[in-house]
Amino acid sequence: MLDIQALYKSFGDAEVLKNINLKVGEGEMVFLIGPSGSGKSTLLRCCNRLEEPTSGAIWMDNTNLLAGDTDINRMRQRIGMVFQGFNLYPHMTAEQNVMLALRRVQGKSEAEAREIARRELDRMGLAERFGHYPSQLSGGQQQRVAIARSLALGPRVMLMDEPTSALDPELVGGVLEAMREMKAAGMTMLVVSHEMRFAREAADRVAFMQAGEIVEYGTPAELLAREGGRARAFLGGEH
Ligand code: ADP
Ligand code: MG
């Protein structure tokens, strides 16, 4: 589904990604973990070209996303991205926030956009919140609106960068539940997270990054069983 090959990224003299090779199979949930500054966000951002990699290839459905003739705007509709902050429009209701890109980017009719928005908000457990403004929603609900907005465009892959890091602890569970639901529905997901308990139970594979490289890769069970492995201490943590 998503196949990252020999990816390098430098900012000036600083080589931030070094020969990254990573495959995410259809319907898989792969976690990227590792210390702060190891390049996790940069790697996700390269996948929808919010950052331009220095070299390498990222294949999705037989298209190299980094090729010069790839239509970035079309590609971005197929790669959803959810960040730590929710970036909802404060003057728009939940439903209007989800409808916006459907109308503007995909040219859907008002009625069709509303139907899709309600369906996706409903999936995120927000059936009672269509008409609420972001300020009337908890952080967890806002993040689920942001996820619904991304899913509404029908992406093939979802990239999630610390989707629960900005939330109060009691709100984290609802977002993790939404991610579980997405995976159950067959979504392909590449997730940066510090929720290690969730990673242990939900991840198909875990890539441990350090200083711009993937230094360990495997199922959670494999990494936890690796004596002296660097990922083991990380993944075995309480969060
Ligand atoms: P992580 O998400 O794992 O914490 P990042 O991908 O954010 O790591 O950062 C990896 C490295 O790249 C860090 O050393 C960071 O300072 C550097 N970096 C990230 N973005 C930029 C940028 N726009 N310009 C220069 N350096 C950057
Ligand atoms: Mg980061």
Distance 130 CA to ligand 2 centre (A): 31
Beta-bridge partners for 161: 192
Instruction: Considering every ligand atom shown, identify the ligand nearest to the alpha carbon of residue 45 and give its number.
Output: 1
pTM flag (> 0.90): yes
Residue 195 lies in a domain: yes
Tell me the Cα Rg of the chain.
Answer: 18
Residue 103 lies in a domain: no
Closest Cα to atom 21 of ligand 1: 11
Instruction: ipTM value, please give it.
Output: 0.98
- 203-212 burial, b if ≥16 CB within 10 A, otherwise e? bebbbbbbeb
> Cα(101)–Cα(152) distance, rounded to whole angstroms?
9
Residue 118 lies in a domain: no
Q: Which residues form the domain of 66?
A: 1-71+190-239
Tell me what pLDDT residue 239 has: 57
> Cα(3)–Cα(37) distance, rounded to whole angstroms?
23
CATH number of domain containing 205: 3.40.50.300
CB-count burial class (<10 Å; 0-12, 13-18, 19+) for 218 = middle
> Cα(160)–Cα(33) distance, rounded to whole angstroms?
12
Residue 171 lies in a domain: no
Number of domains composing the chain: 1
Q: Which numbered atom of ligand 1 lies nearest the CA of 212?
A: 10
Q: Dump pLDDT digits (tens) for 22-69.
A: 999 999 999 999 999 999 999 999 998 999 999 999 999 889 999 988
